Structure 1
Amino acid sequence: MPSRRHLPAVDALRGLACLWVVLHHAFGDQPGVPTALARFCEIGWLGVSLFLVLSGFCLYYPLVQEREEQSVVVHLKQFFLRRARRILPPYYLSLAVALALGLRFLHQQGRPVSELLGSWYDLPLHLVLLHNLTRQTFASLSSVCWSLALEWQLYLIFPVLVALVARRGIRTVLIATLVIVLLWQGLAARELGVSRTWQPGLAVVYHALPGRVFEFACGMLAALRVARPVRGQRAIALVVGSACLLPALVLVLGFYRLGPLCDPLWGIVFACCLILVGEWRVQSLLGRVLVFLGERSYSIYLLHLLIMLALPLPSAVASSPLLTGLVRTASALLAGLAFFTVAERPFLRRR
């Protein structure tokens, strides 16, 4: 089988996920935005769910291209060194930017530096990507970085999932992870309730590793099916994805953002999308723009909210919700592209 590790359609989906999150933060809290745009941006946090599915896909796809899933082995040292070299340098630089902007803001407000960090263990937990495990540090410094900690923890269990797929099959792993997620988020709903808005106190439980592992496993399934197609898989993906899309939309638009069933349903929807478009050639202008953003999405994601919060807006812009959102989006994208050039691309060249 010829090796095709780079799939432009996957980069385009990554670009879409990144842009969706950026639009969510740029327009999500702005009244007076046109209804269709507001509803689309309101659920832009689903870009994180798409990122989790893409992460499982991109890690597993090269492995199952080279071998049958029953014989896939992860070389631990090489795997973790490559992940650390890919993820950590830009992440640490983004923490430095967050600290600098936070200190500048506190200085302007005449407030003590001690307010920047929630506790003495705030920065150490961020450095080792465990800050998503406590309510005090979950959304501190840069509130989007909780998902980076979750991604890193998924990397830690990825070799285990690969070994389980090799021994028991992808179907068993999907069922097992789905049961774990339903039990975890069901208990969270029982103890904490559900919420339509972002609440770090609830998110620290709902978005903990057991609660999001099924989406990652869905990405692994999509990788297996794209690398080793079976008859009728696209028709099945279309039917299953369409069947899950409506209840998934009903949940996020009408009931809650933090609650059971929502994340698993979107994991299935996004995995089906990957199976449907994974090997498509990207030829349209919009597709090429999304591929361009997808290749730089990590830097944009790391920096976008920091730039939006630090960006001073002229009164003429601030008085218009639409202009405010557009300026925020453009500034975040430009800053992310610059950050990619300085903080991410040098390490990509050394891989």
Structure 2
Amino acid sequence: MADNFGSTSERSSTDYLAFLDGLRAIAILSVVFYHLYGDRLPNGFLGVDVFFVISGFVVSYTVSRRYRGQSAFHFVLEFYARRFTRIMPALLVCLLFSALATFLFVPDAWLSTSISKTASSAFVGLSNIFLAKGTDYFSPVTEFNPFTHTWSLGVEEQFYVVFPLLFFPWVIGPRGKRFSALVYGALAVVSVAVWLHLLAANPLQAFYMPYARFWQLACGILCFQLVSRIGERTGFERHCNLAATIALIGLVATFALDFGKAYDGLENIAAVACTTVLIGCLYYLGSDRAPHFAVLEIKPVRFVGWISYSLYLWHWPILVIARWTIGTETTATKLTALLAAVAFSLASYFWIETPTRRLRLLRTAPDIAVVALFLAVIAAAFFGFKLMQRQSI
């Protein structure tokens, strides 16, 4: 999910928005808790919807501040160079490790099913397309597939194909800003309509396909475009604090409440709406936020947000491998799997994510060289996966 879970900006920068890491913490904890105790947090999976909104806001916020008058070609190239640097190192290591663990611990009969194909698709950002053709996300089969969670990364990676092209007009002038907002608004409306239709006609496509999820990412983009244009304070700080408080309470309630089949889709709309309002209000308020929002910015909460990408990557395959080995029926085995996932996440964050992001070579090399390098690395990782696959047969 990417910048599904990426940092908003360098944390030492004045552009850093600490409250977004607090929201990331809420989202990732809801997803992890749902995967461990789904009956106690029935809508915890909506944390992914929250991440989509955050991602739309973050990429808009970030690239608008990094634009320095370059051409559209260089604007797009820089965007992809930064996305590859942020997403791929941790993802590829996780995929290769998960594949090795899968070949070691998962029975051969299961390897011949969708697991290997999901993994293959994940290396090229297409696992959601493959999963849309098969099994329900909530079925027992997906619970034993270590790569199921990569569907959301696929949605974001496919979204990033069009994002810089549609957002570039925003950074070049007033007319471009109106054009970009109009296009994103129109596409969001179309996406919602398609999603509502697919909820009944083809639930798998409604869940997995990028055109059915586009509206959630677009809400984050439109939120940034709207709030960044408001400009000076308008005297609505008190109303914004109230709206943000209601939105935060509503978001937590949406995770916890079981809406039932009769309200299929309402929980997604509620989660996206609450997240959009919350981000918009907190960004607009700045230092005028009500005191209780400080909980989103305390260091332990922000730290969970910092490692949220790694935690999302690792918690699911660790949990699935635990199901195949020690089981996850008891509190003790669930806690063991969770501790292992946290350990791998911390290792990924401190030894892969952070060093790669700060690597001088990647920061100073031409964008086209960075993109070419990562394409080669992806190809090499995919080849390594196929080699492991052959050895396991």
TM-score of Structure 1 vs Structure 2, range by shorter chain: 0.7 to 0.9
* CA 1:249–1:81: 2 relative to 1, 3 Å: same
1:296 aligns with 2:307: yes
Residue equivalent to 1:22: 32
1:330 is matched with which residue?
A: 339
Residue deviations 1:144-182, cap 9 Å, x none? 110001111111121233146535356534541332123
Q: Does 1:103 align with 2:103?
A: yes
For residues 216 and 9 of structure 1, the distance between their equivalents in structure 2, rounded to whole angstroms, comes to 18
Tell me, what secondary structure is at the counterpart of 2:93? helix
Task: Give the one of 8, 12, 17 matched to 1:7.
Answer: 17
The CA deviation string for residues 131-150 of structure 1, in whole angstroms up to 9 with x for no partner, is 21122498554111100011
In the alignment, the residues of structure 2 paired with residue 84 and residue 319 of structure 1 have an alpha-carbon distance, to the nearest angstrom, of: 38
Q: Is the 8 A contact 1:132 1:149 kept in 2?
A: yes
Judging changes above 3 Å, is the alpha-carbon distance between structure 1 residues 157 and 97 closer, same or farther for their aligned structure 2 residues?
A: same
Are positions 1:115 and 2:112 aligned together?
A: yes
Greater alpha carbon shift after TM alignment, 89-98 vs 170-179 = 170-179
Work out whether residues 56 and 220 of structure 2, in 8 Å CA contact, stay in contact via their aligned partners in 1. Answer: yes
- Rounded to whole Å, the distance in 2 between the matches of 1:301 and 1:64 is 27
Would you say the 8 A contact 1:13–1:294 is kept in 2? yes
- Bigger shift: 19-28 or 216-225? 216-225
**How far, CA to CA, are the matches of 1:49 and 1:327 in structure 2?**
27
Separation in 1 of the partners of 2:329 and 2:109? 31
What SS class does the counterpart of residue 46 from structure 1 fall into? Answer: helix
Q: Is the 8 A contact 1:11 1:295 kept in 2?
A: yes
Kindly report which structure 2 residues correspond to 1:31-70, keeping only aligned pairs within 5 A, or say none: 38=40, 41-65=41-65
SS at match of 1:254: coil
The aligned amino acid for 1:305 is W
Counterpart in 1 of 2:321?
A: 310
- Is 2:67–2:75's contact at 8 Å kept on the other side of the alignment? no
- Which residue pairs with 2:88 in the alignment? 88
Give the Cα separation in 2 of the matches to 1:67 and 1:78.
Answer: 10
CA RMSD of aligned residues (A): 3.9
Q: Distance in 2 between matches of 1:55 and 1:339?
A: 20
Asked if the contact 1:116–1:141 (Cα under 8 Å) also holds between the matched residues in 2, the reply is: no
Q: 1:215: which partner in 2?
A: 216
Partner of 1:273: 278
Question: Are the equivalent residues in 1 in contact too, given 2:223–2:276 (CA < 8 A)?
Answer: yes
Count of paired positions: 321
Tell me the distance in 2 between the aligned counterparts of 1:63 and 1:257: 40
| Number of the residue aligned with 1:146 | 151
Q: Is the 8 A contact 1:12 1:290 kept in 2?
A: yes
Contact kept? 2:22, 2:297, Cα under 8 Å:
no
Identity, % of aligned pairs? 26
Specify the code of the residue in structure 2 equivalent to 1:21.
V
Residue of structure 1 aligned with 2:121, choices 114, 122, 125: 125
2-structure distance, mates of 1:125, 1:312: 23
Distance 1:100 1:204, change over 3 A: farther
SS in 1 for 2:258: helix
Letter in 1 for 2:164: P
Contact 1:17 1:48 in 2 (8 A): yes
- 1: distance between equivalents of 2:247 and 2:296? 30
Supply the distance in 2 between the matched residues of 1:122 and 1:319 (Cα, whole angstroms).
25
Q: Structure 2: how far apart are the matches of 1:98 and 1:256?
A: 34
TM-score between the two structures when normalised by the length of structure 1 = 0.76
Check conservation: 1:74, 1:159, Cα contact below 8 A.
no
The structure in which a higher percent of residues are helix is 2
1:176 partner letter? A
CA distance in structure 1 between the partners assigned to 2:323 and 2:227 by the alignment: 45
Gap runs ≥5 in structure 2: 1-12, 171-175, 364-393
Partner SS state of residue 298, structure 2 = helix
C-alpha separation in 2, matches of 1:250 and 1:319: 23
Query: Once the two structures are superposed, what CA deviation does each residue of 1:35-88 show, in whole Å capped at 9, x if it has no partner?
Result: xxx1xx3211111111111111111113444779xx999701111111112111
Compared with structure 1, are the counterparts of its residues 243 and 171 closer, same or farther at alpha carbon in structure 2 (3 Å cutoff)? Answer: farther
**Counterpart contact for 2:30–2:45, Cα < 8 Å:** yes
2 CA distance for matches of 1:126 and 1:285? 32
Q: Determine helix, strand or coil for the equivalent of 2:353.
A: helix
Normalized against structure 2, the TM-score is what? 0.68
Q: Using the alignment, how far apart are the partners of 2:328 and 2:125 within structure 1?
A: 35
Distance 1:27 1:313, change over 3 A: farther
